[in-house]
Structure 1
């Protein structure tokens, strides 16, 4: 065989090999994608990961027999809003149980099934557990391996459970916050932005690092300051969605109970106050210094109050350090600092133990009321704070036709005097509040010369108006001038 003949055969074999490879490649790319998803899914379906902390199965709930005894004796029972829907609110997983909170104020003592779901929101087969409502809107459930979402139902046949809600992690060996604040629900038409900033900055100055807020309703402008504190991680926020057009003080206990469950195992102590109440420390540097003086049997500390006459309303918006305020058809120029409650109001009542407020240990309390606990667990005691150590200032409105109006006529509140804030503390608080509200609300227009040339040239074909800017020397404030392009 000649050399040329052998070379020709090699070329033919090489061509055939290339053709086979090309055809196989075509078959792979044209057919495999259509079948790959099905094959992969059937052979290796996605499995929910189960973290080490979530590999716990329990068949009982701590102190359930005691809770049943409380229910038989109607401990903390307070039925209200009897026609309300039962909506899931939040769910928390602790080392030894799970708590679900709802919007119900009519279900005390009723039997209800805990329903468990994995990360795909698929129900864990055979995992249901029959529990009860205690206190008013709370259900306790045992742990289940792999549970990530929870729901409830009143029977296991014929009733579709509500949309499952995620479990919030609270499997802490020890609390990660020494003292937190459960803030009463925010609702109503009054703008709250300045009050929120003043409240948080006040408590931060006395050693509080964490806050639990609940919103019934809030205007968009005030919500900006809440979002800022959410950004910094200083607050947790619960928003209650209801079928009612107006959600007000009649729903307050929903917040009390939800925050009690939210704080368990995360915060050692909880300050239970409304947005218009400030804790004043008189003999210690911080609230932590005061509370560390109590032994482990103490589950609740009561504090006296001093009411401050709040005769005005909060400003609607921040305009500048000096802004216009209209009062009975009189236009006033006021500084934003003078609008801060702790500087504006100081007509004060004597200190009284009537309607006292408490700071409590969430794991040691079975059920809470508005100002103090309904029921402590066995072995837990409550005490009154040492005389002169601390008190709450309550900026109480003097308006009529609202909850609690007419309090000025109560004898124990008649002997008013001027009691100003400590000057050193006031200066610190003033600076903190001013810095925060300016960071959030001191906004300006975008000037056209701030826009880089590249983006401007690229998008100016759509018209100058899309840039929403203003020229610095444009006294008319016209941001939509036509330009040649």
Structure 2
């Protein structure tokens, strides 16, 4: 009897706690679903195929064979608030796209309103497929607004204006033949270059309309999108913003699936075919003379509503470099290591007829509007998806990709790559006849004649690149690509109307170039380099010859990293002698091409030629070894490390060139801040140092100003600063300092410092409310007094006076004395 009672007690307790346990498990799975559900792959619903190719079985996680079923696991308490992303009304009735997670198969009330926001229709419907509500099939309703509520008597709080869909199009609104829907942009990584390549590639494939979904983008990306949207080209672009008001919109996979449903219904009556791809995916015909548009035009069977393409991965070992986009860094041109084609229905991508689709998945149609519509599997020999996958964080994917078959090197044909490059538009700075520089949009195929029909002379950055008097074949049809112009270039154009008193047009030097040359000359003096001057008519030819010689050295440097040089003693000997001479006499020039070599050489500058010979051979062998690892095993960790180091060096050099061209003043030491003041009638030059905690007076200055008797030697201590430890001899508590016509009371620590008379530190600056005004180059006091900072020549003469050193030793460190 007791056993029965215990059993019944246990059974009742189990039944009481079972609902709570199920509720907890449902919420747990909804919160941690990304750990249990595959982020990249999904099993597609069975569809009728017209390809005779046998479907390849792939190892996928087991899932129910239905349409996007994962939301049924979500507890209702964890679902988003009902939020409408978009809504459409047209010949097939009214459809709503939710941006809320957790409502699949749940009943909600769809409520329609007229233009006066008066409710005209209400119906209980289920959310099916995911994110989609088919409110009404009555095309005659024509609502102006829509709202969705949990209960039919709830007050609508998410009312949304309807987007009207029309089957008839006007001449100005011609139906798109091929529209591209781009998966939502997000993240801070540089996207400008990939976005340009993406848009220009699909334009070449026949796309005439783009839907760009943007969840998060940088300012540079926004500028690019606005440029395309406002351009006068025949390609239309619509930018659709995605907010972050729901949990779904803050999850990449969720907002991607929602975006796909929006893309389908937004284009149902606007586009014949729609491409659904990510930013790093290119659906590419194998015959590069063919296009995706020609591929779709051949599909005359109206039942074919999806073209499904199998995938190949081309591996990217580094992300796109930040900074101005460079055409040479285009992923389609730079990266080549490509996988074997993946099995059927494994990460495929599609081109669809949106009018016949009810639900779209990341890798294929989930549900057609009628069972008669079918999928055509495109054979890999006709076209594939090339996914330019950045490999960081995807090591698990690489192992799976290797199981498909051997990787191979894929190169775009010169024809296609040149067409892509010619489509690339970018901005350059152009000045005509010394007018202010203006940003203009160009392409590599833009000609000199396009810049100005009367151009006779063109400078690019610091050199002449176009001269009509040279007779070298250059003319108005010369393209910017031929002149080596990129987005970093500054172009100076001179026309027949520009005055040239000497009669030699090559004597014309842009005002900006003269300024840059002056800066470069100052920088050269500072670093004890050879002095340079602006090119003149007599020196231009020499400058160009020197530049050509440097270009030749570039070629030699590239060829010396090869096994051929090591195997030919005569070639190696000549290269070694040349490099030894250059490192001994002009290492500062070589440092821009081979910084590692110069750095290692400077560690033992006094080595003999014999010692250098062994050192240099070892260096070449190291570089050859690196190149061979990159070529033979590009997937290895060592190769990736070498590639990343190379990319970093290239980026550093690009930034240096950009800095020298656009910000040459950054290469010159900043003039430190000094002011004139008077103490006890003695003129003193004071160094302003907001980084110093206390103000300091030298013992020599105290003696000149007759303040020796006011030094309180009880305050002797040690001061720690940039130069190490220094002894403080004492303190002057109250010192009358005259600046202009005003008097200020200042305390000073007294030290035996030779390189300065007086240092005004933070304690005095804060006490008197001082402001360092760089715009007016003055020190301003809180009482309205202001005094100018000294010029560099005044500072140098002052330092020479107090330190009694030769002039060449007068330059103090940029950091300045600081305590």
Settle same-fold status: TM greater than 0.5: yes
Tell me whether 126-135 or 207-216 shows the greater mean CA deviation.
Answer: 126-135
Is the contact made by 1:87 and 1:102 (CA closer than 8 Å) also made in structure 2? yes
Question: TM-score, length-normalised on structure 1?
Answer: 0.67
| Superimposed CA distance per residue, residues 308-360 of structure 1 (whole angstroms, 9 cap, x where no aligned partner) | 011111122317xxxxxxxxxxxxxxxx1221111111111122333222211
SS at match of 1:128: strand
Residue 208 of structure 1: how far off its partner (Å)? 0.8
Match status 1:235 vs 2:237: yes
Tell me whether 1:216 sits opposite 2:215 in the alignment.
yes
SS in structure 2 of the partner of residue 151 of structure 1: strand
Give, in angstroms, the shift of residue 188 of structure 1: 2.1
State the Cα deviation string for residues 16-57 of structure 1 (Å, max 9, x = none): xxxxxxxxxxxxxxxxxxxxxxxxxxxxxxxxxxxxxxxxxx
Kindly tell me: are residues 124 and 391 of structure 1, through their superposed partners in 2, closer, same or farther at Cα, counting changes over 3 Å? same
Residues 181 and 272 in structure 1, CA contact (< 8 A), matched pair in contact too: yes
In structure 2, the partner of 1:360 is 352
Equivalent position of 1:337 in the other structure: 327
Partner residue of 1:281? Answer: 285
User: Does structure 1 retain, via aligned residues, the 8 Å contact 2:310–2:380?
Assistant: no
**Counterpart residue number, 1:418:** 409
Matches for 1:91-240 after TM superposition, within 5 Å: 91-119=87-115, 122-142=116-136, 143=139, 145=141, 147-157=143-153, 159-173=154-168, 176-232=175-231, 234-240=236-242
Secondary structure of 2:243 counterpart: coil
Q: Distance in 2 between matches of 1:108 and 1:392?
A: 31
Could you tell me how far apart the structure 2 residues matched to 1:129 and 1:250 are? 26
Where 1:363 maps in the other structure, the secondary structure is helix
SS in 1 for 2:70: coil
The within-5 A match list for 1:376-395 is 376=368, 377-386=370-379, 388-395=381-388
Match of 1:312 in 2: 318
Counterpart CA distance in 2 for 1:246 and 1:189 is 15
Write out the 4+ residue segments of structure 1 that deviate beyond 3 Å after TM superposition.
Answer: 73-76, 80-83, 143-146, 243-247, 411-414, 442-445, 448-451, 471-482
- Give secondary structure in 1 for the equivalent of 2:322: coil
Deviation sequence 1:56-104 (CA, Å, 0-9, x none): xxxxxxxxxxxxxxxxx95433317743333211112222312211112
1:247 positional shift: 3.6
Aligned with 2:157: secondary structure? coil
The 1:134–1:170 alpha-carbon spacing in structure 2 relative to 1, beyond 3 Å, is: same
Q: Deviations over 1:223-277 (max 9, x none)?
A: 2212222324622222221235954234321112221222211111111211100
Q: Aligned equivalents of 2:314 and 2:183: distance in 1?
A: 18
Give the match for residue 292 of structure 1: 297
1:185 counterpart SS class: strand
User: How many angstroms apart in 1 are the aligned matches of 2:435 and 2:290?
Assistant: 50
Match of 2:782 in 1: none
The structure whose RCO (Cα within 8 Å, separation 6+) is larger is: 1
Cα distance in 2 for partners of 1:302, 1:104 equals 28
After TM superposition, give the deviation of residue 145 of structure 1 in Å.
4.5
Match of 2:295, SS state, is helix
User: How far apart, in 2, do the equivalents of 1:235 and 1:413 lie?
Assistant: 37
Task: Report the alpha carbon displacement of residue 369 of structure 1 after superposing the two structures with TM.
Answer: 1.5
2:230 and 2:87 map into 1 onto residues whose CA distance is 22
Cα separation, partners in 2 of 1:280 and 1:89, compared to 1, 3 Å = same
| Maintained 8 Å contact 1:215/1:238 | yes
1:371 aligns with 2:363: yes
Q: Please say if 1:260 is aligned against 2:259.
A: no
What's the CA shift for 1:213?
Answer: 1.9
Q: How far is 1:207 from its partner?
A: 0.5
- 1:200 and 1:96 map into 2 onto residues whose CA distance is 32
**1:428 matched to which residue of 2?**
419
Question: 5+ unaligned residues in a row in structure 1: which ranges?
Answer: 1-72, 320-335, 452-470
2:340 corresponding residue in structure 1: 350
Deviation at residue 115 of structure 1 after TM alignment = 2.6
Kindly state the Cα deviation for residue 132 of structure 1 after the two structures are TM-superposed.
Answer: 2.5
Alpha carbons of structure 1 residues 274 and 399: separation in structure 2 relative to 1, 3 Å: same
Unaligned runs of 5+ in 2: 1-64, 438-510, 520-664, 667-772, 778-819
RMSD: 3.1
Contact 2:83/2:158 (<8 A) preserved = no
Please state how far the C-alpha of 1:125 moved relative to its aligned partner: 3.6
CA distance in 1, matches of 2:237, 2:67: 31
Deviation at 1:479, TM superposition (A): 11
Please tell me whether the aligned partners of residues 93 and 167 of structure 1 are also in contact (alpha carbons under 8 angstroms): yes
The 3 A distance-change label for structure 1 pair 129 and 425 is same
Measured after TM superposition, the shift of residue 219 of structure 1 is 1.8
Q: Equivalents in 1 of 2:406, 2:81: separation in Å?
A: 46
Change (3 A) 1:279 1:160: same
How many residue pairs were aligned? 362
**Separation in 1 of the partners of 2:252 and 2:376?**
31
CA contact (8 A) 1:302 1:356 kept: yes
